[in-house]
Amino acid sequence: MSTNRNFRGPRPKVALHRINEHITAEQVRVVGENIEQGIYPTAKALEMAYALGSDLVEISPNAEPPVCKVVDYNKFLYEQKKKKKELKASTVKQLVKEIRFGPNTDDHDVDFKLKHARNFLEEGNKVRAYVMFRGRTIVYKQRGIDLLMRFANALIDEGYAKMEMEPKEEGKKVAIMLAPKGSKK
């Protein structure tokens, strides 16, 4: 029978908050439903919580005196988890869309890619445009920078974007980053 030396067994559960007897402060500010809010000695606050069949949970340990809430601890954890999930769902996820050019890209192609960039920016995504140099085209690096600046200035002048990153050399690429400016009317 082989034993796995890396296995240490189940991890002990670590409490996220101090509850009941684990609260070390002498006095606490008590809040909660069906309770008279105020500052009480910890022993008195514990008695109040036990009388209601609840727990005393330290929710703000850095306050002076620490703030404790009279609530069922499992219900409190559930509500916190639920709030965290709602916050995560309501945050806007911003994607970075890439647009690629060559150093000899024609004006018509630039206009076509400008149209795509406008759509990306209106959707709230960032745009990373870059010029890719292959072989000996690396000698046209300045032409690539000029192309990117023309591209960026067209979007900035129309009010779609703001410059987030100046043209920057990345090996065989020169890249620029644009972020949406806000609502375009």
Greater model confidence, 182 or 113: 113
- Residue 120: phi and psi, rounded to 5, are -60, -45
Q: Does residue 81 sit in the same domain as residue 116?
A: no
CATH number, domain with residue 71? 3.10.20.80
Backbone region of residue 135 per phi and psi (left: phi > 0; alpha: psi in -120 to 50; beta: other values): left
CATH number, domain with residue 154? 3.30.110.10
Would you place residue 98 in the very low, low, confident or very high pLDDT band (cuts 50, 70, 90)?
Answer: very high
Q: Does residue 74 sit in the same domain as residue 107?
A: no
Predicted pLDDT at 130: 93
Copy the structure tokens of residue 39.
């500052």
**What's the rounded Cα separation, in Å, for the pair 154 and 18?**
57
Predicted pLDDT at 138: 83
Instruction: Note whether residue 8 is domain-resident.
Output: no
In percent, how much of the chain has pLDDT > 70? 89
Predicted pLDDT at 107: 87
**What's the rounded Cα separation, in Å, for the pair 14 and 95?**
36
Instruction: Dihedral sign for Cα 155, 119, 98, 183, please.
Output: positive
pLDDT for 183 beyond 80: no
Instruction: Note whether residue 30 is domain-resident.
Output: yes
Instruction: Note whether residue 12 is domain-resident.
Output: no
Mean pLDDT across the stretch 52-65? Answer: 88
Give the global pTM: 0.51
Predicted pLDDT at 24: 86
Q: Does residue 110 sit in the same domain as residue 168?
A: yes
Over the range 71-109, which residues count as b (16 or more CB within 10 Å of their CB) and which as e? bebeebeeeeeeeeeeeeeeeeeeeebebebebebeeee
Domain count, the chain: 2
Q: Does residue 85 sit in the same domain as residue 100?
A: no
Q: Does residue 102 sit in the same domain as residue 131?
A: yes
Mean pLDDT across the stretch 84-102? Answer: 84
Domain range spanning residue 43?
20-89
